[in-house]
Amino acid sequence: MSEKTYLQAISDGLREEMRRDQRVFVIGEDVGVYGGAFKVTLGFQEEFGAWRVIDAPLSETAIVGGCTGAAIMGMRPVAEMQFADFISCAWDQLVTVAAKQRWRAGTPVPITVRLPSGGGFSGGPFHSQNPESSFAHIPGLKVICPATPEDAKGLLASAIQDPNPCLYFEHKHLYRRIKAEVPDERYETPFGKARVHQEGDDLTVITWGAMVYTAEEAAAQLDGDGVSVEILDLRTLIPWDKQAVLESARKTSKVLVLHEDTHTGGFGGEIAATIAEEAFEDLDAPVKRITAPDSPVPFSPPLEKAFIPQVDDVVAGLRDLAEY
Amino acid sequence: MAIREAEPLGSLSEVREAGLDREDLLGIYRNMLVTRGIEERGHILYKQGKIPGSFYTGRGNEASSVGVATALGPDDVGTPLHRDMGVHVTRGVEPWRIFAQYMGRYDGPTHGRDGNVHMADANLGLIAMVSHLPAMLPVAVGCALAFRIRGQDRVAVGWYGEGASARGDTHEAMNFAGVRRLPVVFVCDNNQWAYSTPTHLEYACEHLADRAQGYGFDGVVVDGTDVLAVYREAKRAIEKARNGGGPTLIESLTLRMEGHAVHDDAFYVPKEMFEQWAKSDPIERFRTWLQEHAELTGDEEDGITAGVKKLLNDALSRAEESPLPDPAKLTEGVFATQEDLDTPHHK
């Protein structure tokens, strides 16, 4: 084990897959000479050469479409969107081509698209979004949202080896802020298996990505009230660990779903609906959602603070639930 | 680098130089007949109510699709579109499976999950198209990228139309292919009508092949009703790509001889245009050439025609016996398993 940042864990995981599997290549804007906008692929081109670490023109459609063709020809491409927001330019390639190709034509598309997502740095409306639920709605795509350095490495290895198009959302606010022990050897973290970030008995928070840490800070404040909070980190939205969610809901009987994505149509709605359908009798309170409001991501700090769920918002939500 | 207009192929000796012997020529003729025969029978099936949804044909495009596909090597790949039935036929798809696909039966290449020419047999080196036509060009470029990374001497062909030329995917695909000099050939089936939209409302340059220069590679305009000219240009472009010479844009000029789909009577196409292009029907034209230059006899011609007729009649009977797909299996295979990767390409 070694202590690593979330960003270092992604970088190490990617390098390790490229070393052991000649089929893996990286393509994106500024990923080669520059090492990527966030330096995830720093030094990769020196090690693997310009045809395995490909500086692409500013062409998200060609990047993702190109990965699709290369994957069908037996490669294991890893595309980097410079920011998750830019995936809108490649929507058609993911949703129209890659997602449906196995089902309708029997041609699997094993690609991984890395998506630096999330806000907290005044990135504004086009460098801060969390578009995971848009893709979770598309049959045929897998959606991965690691929260810890250990998961960041293991889930990336799983995504690259998975025979499907995988959207790997790496939260920018975790890149250098979060450090933890990461196994040195190669491992794959399975999809669809939630992680208990902390155990608790009175309330459950279901979340993923950077909100895991917001939930952790909020739960620490509830500790002082004598309320014990369980935090479930979903790790992957497609597939998602329904069983673990229902088990925790049945255990604590009070559930808060927390995400940084906007409210309406967010994946939290799917979780809340499933709990209502399958664990209604076990609930002692309505399922609560804390999310970003239904607006674009704002630029100015006070606006962004109002947009992204804060620790205080979660504390208030948890207290409401505890008192219900 | 400037755009070039291809010459027609004259004599049998020129054709031999281009790599075709007499058997190949008869094979091309047969593939063109099979292509048109499949679509003519499809039309009848549609009118009989046996084809759900809509129905599209590539009448007038047989020389273009068969000509390019004939120039492909066995390990080359492509992304043909809905006017390119001749590509599937030339690569060897069994016609009964196409009829099954038309009728939404289980034995069609998509097992009833998609219709029309939205199909391909990956074992034949083809990738199934989507309705968003130019979306397949980046995919073809990606195939070429894989070949380039692995240092293989394989080539990818991406098809599109003059309508699809107006979309951004086309630009991104060609620009990236040009920048990296990838082994890909772009074939533009310019059939002059994108549904009801004429060429002057799709592009403002004289020829779409002119655009190749802007991407740093060669463009050529070829008469898409002349199968031998199409073949020669495709062969040149494919071998150039194979030898590291980068992409080529081939603009194959034809006329869409029917409506956009079966429901469309194409009232907006001037009658004189149909009459003029009917004079250069690709199949008639090639038959005449074979008679004049390759001593095609009446007996040979009758033998080929009868063989095609039998092939298609048998195919139709077999397709009608194919079962409808099982609704209980609708959601199977939304996600691939590792076993699904056991294909000639994914390995």
Q: What are the domain boundaries of chain A?
A: 2-182, 195-323
Closest by CA position to B41, among listed B345, B316, B291:
B316
- Residue B346: pLDDT over 70: no
Q: Do B336 and A75 touch (CB under 8 A)?
A: no
What pLDDT is attached to residue B39? 97
- What pLDDT score was predicted for residue A241? 98
The distance of B333 to chain A (nearest Cα, Å) reads 5
Q: Per-residue pLDDT tens for A49-60?
A: 999 999 999 999
The predicted pLDDT at position B12 comes to: 84
- Tell me the sheet residues that pair with B77: B156
pLDDT computed for residue B21 by the predictor: 93
Name the minimum distance, in Å, from the CA of A62 to any CA of chain B: 5
Mark which residues 249-278 of B lie under 8 Å from A by CB: none
- Tell me the CATH number for domain A2-182: 3.40.50.970
* pLDDT confidence tier of residue B141, bands split at 50, 70 and 90: very high
Judge whether residue B3 has pLDDT over 70: no
Contacts of A57 in chain B (CB under 8 A): 172, 175-176, 179
**Partner A contacted by B335 (CB < 8 A):** yes
Provide mean pLDDT across the span A114-141.
97
Cβ distance B114 to A110 less than 8 Å, yes or no, reads no
Closest residue of chain B to A57, computed from CA coordinates = B176
Shortest distance between the Cα of A265 and any Cα of chain B, in A, equals: 22
Q: Which of B3, B66, B18, B17 is closest to B233 using CA atoms? A: B18
Convert the pLDDT of each residue in B90-114 to its tens digit. 999 999 999 999 999 999 999 999 9
B82/A contact by beta carbon, under 8 A: no
Give A104 to chain B, closest Cα distance, Å: 5
Residue B10, pLDDT score: 75
pLDDT at B13: 86
| B1 interfaces chain A, CB cutoff of 8 Å | no
**In the predicted model, what is the mean pLDDT of chain A?**
97
Mean pLDDT on B263-274: 96
Taking CA–CA distances from A60, the nearest residue in chain B reads: B172
Predicted ipTM of the assembly? 0.96
Contact yes or no for B176 and A56 at CB 8 A: yes
Which residue in chain A has the smallest CA separation from B119?
A105
- pLDDT bucket at A151, cuts 50 / 70 / 90: very high
B340 vs A: CB within 8 A: yes
Does B1 score more than 50 pLDDT? Answer: no
Cβ <8 Å between A65 and B179? no
Confidence of residue B345 (pLDDT cuts 50, 70, 90): confident
State pLDDT tens for residues B29-82.
999 999 999 999 999 999 999 999 999 999 999 999 999 999 999 999 999 999
Q: Residue B125 pLDDT more than 50?
A: yes
Does CATH place domain A195-323 in 3.40.50.920?
yes
Annotated catalytic sites of A, by residue? 127
Q: CA of A59: which chain B residue's CA is closest?
A: B172
Per-residue model confidence (pLDDT) at position B18: 86
| The predicted structure's pLDDT at residue B344 | 76
Q: Please say if the pLDDT value at position B318 is more than 50.
A: yes
The pLDDT assigned to A191 comes to 98
Look at residue A229 and tell me whether its pLDDT is greater than 80: yes
pLDDT at A63: 98
Whether residue A62 and residue B122 make contact (CB cut-off 8 A), yes or no, is no
CA distance B345 to chain A (A): 5
Residue A252 confidence (pLDDT) above 70? yes
What per-residue confidence (pLDDT) applies to B57? 95
pLDDT confidence of B14, banded at 50, 70, 90?
Answer: confident
For residue A211, pLDDT over 90 is answered with yes
Contact A69 B144 (CB under 8 A): yes
Q: What percent of chain A has a predicted confidence (pLDDT) above 70?
A: 100
**Per-residue pLDDT reduced to its tens digit, B203-262:** 999 999 999 999 999 999 999 999 999 999 999 999 999 999 999 999 999 999 999 999
Q: Does any CB of chain A come closer than 8 Å to the CB of residue B136?
A: yes
Q: Please tell us whether the domain made up of B4-323 is placed in CATH 3.40.50.720.
A: no
Please report which confidence band the pLDDT of residue B347 belongs to, taking 50, 70 and 90 as the band edges: low
